[in-house]
């Protein structure tokens, strides 16, 4: 089928889906969970074919790990769907109600965005999470997963599609794309597609942003900082730096640049050096850092590099405002943490650092939709409109204004005021 056709069908289904009540959507989600459970063996078999092929193609071990959809992971996504069923339906909430005049009432009511295109990496669990999040929030979705997972993704989409249609979902609320050419066509369809959520490498996300008029929700870079203030507890600072950097180096919320206040640097850096060198982290530092510990010299380029590796750049700064300025200048607005026992420093840092997630005395690694209790996430946004930070159900919602009159025309209000009385009413249909 042509891409424009697919998008048109999916868009039409989104209008239908946007009017499903919670029970209907939860019944569908329950059926999806059951059908995935029923088909575990088939999923394992097909996934092992993808893995075999990828091994032949020389895929690296970490990528093979992400591609693998073993029984434990399948059970986790099934549990995820069950959790999603428990979550509040974000659709149809009256956010504002105002009487404009007697018999003229305005309601702002939440509704789904419409049709969402999600392009994601080779993790089959992501397909299930994203599509069920879209369903619960009343959105249609067009998915394109990593090439390596082609067979698994195709099967999973079929299972989800069949299970959902059987329990009443509109026929075309979900599509799975298989080729890169399809993605290129997709990016042109701003008439039908309301939002693109790309996940994956920086280059890829930037490519999407550069090549589509459709709004993009996502993040290209995750250049996260820790700032070790002069009033930091040294042991806490060591643990937080270590965890932020090494607990999982390949993720977007891992630490890339450490900023250290000069008043604590001599005490802190040698201890950090010992701790991280033991974990094979390569340190790259500014000149002042090099005077305290032996390390490679950082270039200006290092401050804007997302290593996603066992590498940490370190800069000694003279006060908190210099730290804030550095982060706002070189950071990517993702996640930045301050370690300090001084509340006013923490406050200043959290208020002046212009990032989606600003932390005090904890690891940057907490920046995550599951951790935040959003139920699940479609990704983390460094956008500054619509959604910021981890994006869950609420991030897939917009609103419409409903105005209910009794024949009013604007002409009559040239000499008449609006009442603008808050109603605190919920719209009843």
* Residues within window 82-121 making contact with a copy of itself, judged by CB under 8 A: 98, 100, 104, 106, 113-114
Cβ neighbours of 38 (radius 10 Å):
12
8 A C-beta contact, residue 174 and residue 157: yes
Q: CA 223, 224, 228: angle at the middle one, nearest 5?
A: 140
Contact pick of 50, 148, 243, 256 for a copy of itself (by CB under 8 A): 243
The minimum distance between CB 207 and a copy of itself, in angstroms, equals: 12
Helix (H) or strand (E) holding 337: strand 335-339
Contact pick of 35, 194, 229, 302 for a copy of itself (by CB under 8 A): 194
Contact pick of 121, 233, 306, 342 for a copy of itself (by CB under 8 A): 233
State the number of CA atoms in the 13 A half-sphere of 302 facing the CB: 20
Query: Is 229 near a copy of itself (CB under 8 A)?
Result: no
Q: Smaller CB distance to a copy of itself: residue 20 or 307?
A: 20
Q: CA 229, 341, 372: angle at the middle one, nearest 5?
A: 95
Q: CA 252, 258, 263: angle at the middle one, nearest 5?
A: 160
The SS3 assignment for 88 reads coil
Binders of a copy of itself among residues 351 to 380 (CB under 8 A) are 351-352, 354-363, 365-367, 371-373
CA distance 51 to 53: 5
8 A C-beta contact, residue 120 and residue 199: yes
- The tokens describing 33, both together, are 């969970």
The minimum distance between CB 196 and a copy of itself, in angstroms, equals: 11
Query: Is 403 near a copy of itself (CB under 8 A)?
Result: yes
The minimum distance between CB 144 and a copy of itself, in angstroms, equals: 20
CA distance 410 to 395: 35
Query: Is 405 near a copy of itself (CB under 8 A)?
Result: yes
Binders of a copy of itself among residues 299 to 318 (CB under 8 A) are none
Contact pick of 236, 308, 311, 423 for a copy of itself (by CB under 8 A): 236
Scan for tokens 């020389």, then name that residue: 58
Site mask for a copy of itself (CB under 8 A), range 152-191, x = bound: ----------------------------------------
Binding part of the chain for a copy of itself, among 181-189, 278-286, 292-300, 413-421 by CB under 8 A, reads 413-421
Binding part of the chain for a copy of itself, among 61-69, 156-164, 263-271, 338-346 by CB under 8 A, reads 338-346
Binders of a copy of itself among residues 19 to 58 (CB under 8 A) are 19
Contact pick of 346, 378, 391, 393 for a copy of itself (by CB under 8 A): 346
Contact pick of 18, 122, 132, 176 for a copy of itself (by CB under 8 A): 18
Q: Which long-range CB contacts under 8 A does 349-357 form with residues at least 24 apart?
A: 349/227, 349/229, 349/320, 349/323, 349/324, 352/321, 352/324, 352/328, 353/324, 353/327, 353/328, 354/328, 355/327, 355/331, 355/382, 356/380, 356/381, 356/382, 356/388, 356/389, 357/253, 357/389
The minimum distance between CB 150 and a copy of itself, in angstroms, equals: 30
Scan for tokens 């009487």, then name that residue: 99
The minimum distance between CB 309 and a copy of itself, in angstroms, equals: 18
User: Total residues contacting a copy of itself (rule CB under 8 A)?
Assistant: 73
């Amino acid at each position: 089928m042509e891409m424009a056709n697919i998008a048109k069908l999916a868009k039409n289904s989104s209008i239908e889906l946007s009017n499903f009540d919670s029970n209907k959507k939860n019944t569908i989600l329950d059926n999806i969970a059951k059908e995935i459970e029923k088909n575990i063996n088939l999923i394992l078999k097909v996934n092992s074919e993808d893995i075999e092929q990828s091994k032949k193609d020389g895929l690296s071990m970490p990528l093979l790990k992400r591609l693998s959809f073993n029984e434990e992971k399948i059970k986790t996504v099934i549990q995820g769907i069950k959790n999603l069923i428990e979550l509040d339906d974000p659709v149809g909430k009256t956010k504002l109600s105002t009487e404009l005049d007697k018999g003229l009432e305005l309601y702002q009511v939440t509704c789904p965005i419409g049709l969402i295109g999600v392009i994601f990496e080779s993790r089959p669990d992501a397909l299930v999470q994203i599509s069920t999040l879209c369903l619960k929030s009343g959105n249609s979705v067009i998915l394109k997963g990593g090439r390596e997972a082609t067979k698994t993704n195709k099967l999973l989409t079929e299972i989800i599609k069949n299970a959902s249609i059987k329990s009443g979902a509109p026929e075309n609320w979900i599509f799975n794309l298989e080729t890169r050419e399809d993605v290129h066509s997709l990016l042109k369809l701003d008439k039908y597609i309301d939002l693109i959520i790309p996940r994956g490498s920086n280059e890829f996300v930037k490519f999407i942003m550069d090549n589509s008029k459709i709004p993009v929700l996502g993040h290209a870079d995750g250049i996260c900082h820790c700032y070790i203030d002069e009033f930091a507890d040294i042991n806490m600072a060591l643990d937080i730096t270590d965890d932020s950097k090494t607990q999982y180096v390949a993720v977007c919320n891992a630490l890339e640049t450490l900023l250290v206040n000069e008043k604590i640097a001599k005490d802190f850096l040698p201890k950090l050096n010992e701790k991280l060198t033991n974990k094979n982290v390569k340190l790259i530092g500014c000149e002042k850092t090099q005077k305290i510990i032996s390390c490679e010299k950082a270039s200006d380029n290092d401050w804007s590099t997302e290593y996603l590796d066992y590498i940490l750049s370190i800069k000694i700064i003279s006060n908190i405002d210099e730290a804030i300025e550095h982060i706002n200048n070189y950071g990517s607005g993702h996640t930045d943490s301050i370690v300090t026992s001084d509340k006013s420093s923490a406050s200043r840092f959290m208020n002046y650092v212009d990032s989606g997630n600003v932390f005090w005395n904890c690891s940057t690694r907490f920046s995550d939709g599951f951790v935040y209790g959003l139920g699940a996430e479609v990704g983390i946004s460094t956008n500054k409109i619509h959604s910021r930070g981890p994006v869950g159900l609420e991030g897939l919602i917009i609103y419409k204004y409903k105005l209910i009159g009794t024949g009013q025309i604007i002409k009559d209000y040239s000499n008449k005021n609006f009442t603008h009385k808050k109603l605190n009413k919920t719209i009843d249909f």
